Structure 1
């Protein structure tokens, strides 16, 4: 049995900043917001950028997992 490879999608800091700010600007017209919820694995830095742009001080986190190693399992929230 061959080992499954985990797919990666490398993003530069510049691109991360640019797309996070673009998201914030799109959300601006939908606000105001009381807070923001971010997925902890990979979402905290973009959440911080969006929160700063929208002047949101409250960021909560959600830890969600559905993998054990390379095996996909039941969604655990």
Structure 2
């Protein structure tokens, strides 16, 4: 078992996409909490951290996912 076996790579990629798109800023509490989720899981958060994650990261992830799904449908119907 390696040092990174516990990392949620899908979440890591999603968070990095948010950063790249300017929807999440490194150094903010939301970013730090997102890093904790990536490395230790959502259940490792305190109630206050869960609130911050849900409000500032989870909602943004959900909106981005919905936008990507809409884009995929539009792109697949262009023929």
TM-score, normalization: structure 2? 0.27
Query: Higher helix share goes to which structure?
Result: 2
Higher strand proportion: 1
